[in-house]
Structure 1
Amino acid sequence: DATIWKPDSCQSCRCHGDIVICKPAVCRNPQCAFEKGEVLQIAANQCCPECVLRTPGSCHHEKKIHEHGTEWASSPCSVCSCNHGEVRCTPQPCPPLSCGHQELAFIPEGSCCPVCVGPGKPCSYEGHVFQDGEDWRLSRCAKCLCRNGVVQCFTAQCQPLFCNQDETVVRVPGKCCPQCSARSCSAAGQVYEHGEQWSENACTTCICDRGEVRCHKQACLPLRCGKGQSRARHHGQCCEECVSPAGSCSYDGVVRYQDEMWKGSACEFCMCDHGQVTCQTGECAKVECAQGEELIHLHGKCCPECISRNGYCVYEETGEFMSSNASEVKRIPEGEKWEDGPCKVCECRGAQVTCYEPSCPPCPVGTLALEAKGQCCPDCTSVHCHPDCLTCSQSPDHCDLCQDPTKLLQNGWCVHSCGLGFYQAGSLCLACQPQCSTCTSGLECSSCQPPLLMRHGQCVPTCGDGFYQDRHSCAVCHESCAGCWGPTEKHCLACRDPLHVLRDGGCESSCGKGFYNRQGTCSACDQSCDSCGPSSPRCLTCTEKTVLHDGKCMSECPGGYYADATGRCKVCHNSCASCSGPTASHCTACSPPKALRQGHCLPRCGEGFYSDHGVCKACHSSCLACMGPAPSHCTGCKKPEEGLQVEQLSGAGIPSGECLAQCRAHFYLESTGICEGQNLDFCQNLEVISAVCLGISSTEN
């Protein structure tokens, strides 16, 4: 991403995400001082000119200027050079030629360099004479060869095509054989092939990528212009630039701005200067090619460039006497020709191998075509053909032409209609491709050999993305589906738009209530949830009379949690075992040994209260402290003058009883506040003494 490179000197490409956008180079005005003798010069293998001082001895040739010491190709067969202002043209140097025994060097018509030809008789063809061993093209897909006075013509042989799932068969202009190509695109009424690039406008460039139109919109950076400058958008450019107020020019109906430079022709560069257009011819700098390169002139370029001549073809040759799956892969230099067997001629041209097979004339009526060893075309021998045959070959029963002109020829038999696995081409029944069960042409099947499936005229092992299997063929999915099991928008298995999600077989913008997005597919939330997600089954909201805890809905919060106003379980204060709110005063239960009193968990209940199963409850009103609610459960008295009449000891060994204003008989109030008891004799003596004392006091009175 963001990598920039130049596939050639006049083109710049950039990777945007995962698509490549290429644009022609825009040359900046180098602002040469032409009045001081500077000229525009195009450096070796460059596109844009630079300013250099004019060197003496440059040459003018065919409306171009060449620097002293430079070389260029003037025509297909001559190389010119500039030497101190003088142009010298010489024949193009040819690679060394080594001809075999009895072969001769010969320069074919329209060629620059000689080739080896045989010593046999020449051939005459359509007013031209060709030497023995010389070949020539009839068309792009047919050629002829002179063999000792006999013209043998060949047609290009096309191999069966097995295209990938996302490819279709196309005929490419200028190519002999059909090719596999990714799906084309349709945009604004135009059809674009895979890899083809176009501009929607100055800012948006689009490319066809396997049937999908992908566009990149150029973003313009903020622009601040200097004092006196103004904003303007140059011709063909997306973003505005700061331009000088010195004046604009009009050239071929296009507004140009001060110091702007553009190409008038391949070698002519025009500039706008204070409202005036001036054009200068660029001068070609000296180019020195490295070993293995050759100097060629590319169409649309001003100056020649060095191009590697190390082109080659990769060719897989299957041996005639090898096992069926054995083959040999060869690297063949560009331009080389060879014979692949006695009747097949191949050549490497434009890094592509094309093989030609002989086109033999039919035998005369009443003769049999018999194969002759060492010959490409059969010998014609007089024989009685089958009554159905007008002419025959291989055997009397193998027809080449039918006696009945209404019949069709299929594998040497004259038939009324083509059989299974054949299609009609004129008066012939030709075999379908091996993968076809039936077909309408040599390129497209109409049904396939099991277990292959029919898709857009091609037989494929699986339907692939965007298609579903309908019996023995592949039908296209609804436009919203990337994969599907049926034709409608509710039959999707995956969505074409990466922002959409799959719900109940349809592609939606969101999953909606009660569902969550599970890797592009909507899955139902847990039954307890009102809603969940967006990308997990955890509950977000719950139905009535349930609360939300840890992504699940339940009838009540677990211990240590409480339900807030929104129905969500929140953790209690750390002093509470359970609670009704967040603070320490919201406890509803405590962990032992603490006890609950007025919403707080306390280590002790305090005066006037006792702990009953962890809850602080009030003592009887007479008790300061107690073990239970009854008056007899006091362990201390609220009024200091009252005494605790102990009735029993608690499990903890603490005395408890009732608080009395006066201790019962035989008990007295001890300083501890407890009614203590004495032995009976002592008490009786006290009663006598008290009675005597009381009597004494009464007599004294």
Structure 2
Amino acid sequence: MEREPVKRLPLSDVNKSTLHLNSSSIFTGLVEQCRRKPPPTFFFSSGPERKKCHSGFSFAPAMLKERPDCSKARCEVQFSPRCPEDSVLIEGYAPPGECCPLPSRCVCSPAGCLRKVCQPGYLNILVSKGSGKPGECCDLYECKPVFSVDCSTVECPRVQQVQCPPDSYETQVRLTADGCCTLPTRCECLPGLCGFPQCTAGSSPEVVFHGNGNPGQCCDVYECINETKPACSFNGSEYHDGDMFRMDACRFCRCQGGVSVCFTAQCGILHCERHYVPERECCPVCEGTTSSPNDLAPD
């Protein structure tokens, strides 16, 4: 829309409402504005002459406010929030006379609150009231069945309380088709209960009882059994895994997984002139001693 030219007032026509000018203000006087939506367009009126507004606008007297100097204003950066479905975003704006805008915010929108459409035979029942805060603007409803049966004439069977084993839980209470009586509850296996045990080193899990998926027998039962490794045999003797034994005077063996791993003794150096080999030993020793300095060092 093209703006109409502004008429300047001669100084003699300026009335008492005129403010003095300074470095941070603009000329202020008795003005009239075409009002519709902010920001309005202002026109000075000169004598009896009145400006003509476009269709949808009307003249109204107003006073121009002093405009602040925002050249040195530092405004905090404001990010628009992400509003829930039950609310709308109100963009931030700078109030009159201020340089920095207010932060954007979410406000509840009644149009975003929709009640459930229930099928015939069901009724909308209020579950919780809305708090008026974005995300909790709306009342919460649920569709509940409407029964036309007179339950006062219905005799319900006695329901015995169920005691469930540790591996199961009791199901929720349900109503009969007419809504008058409660159905018996039952036990069901707890979800995610069955697993595979972690055994310590040297043992492995073995099944000692097979479960069938029914309460009380939901899962397989395991037990950590020590691993039995093959033994070694020599000269009619049995040696377990890790045992050391002697094949002869100079050869030694270790049992490892059923296999005999053997090595020969390495004799140390003697610093004597007279030495001998003791009975059932491999390496010589100096006379007057019972063993050599570095006896039985494996190769």
Shorter-chain TM-score bucket reads: under 0.3
TM-score after normalising by structure 2: 0.22
Larger Rg over CA atoms = 1
TM-score after normalising by structure 1: 0.11
Q: Which has the higher contact order (CA 8 A, sep 6+)?
A: 2
User: Which has the larger share of strand?
Assistant: 1
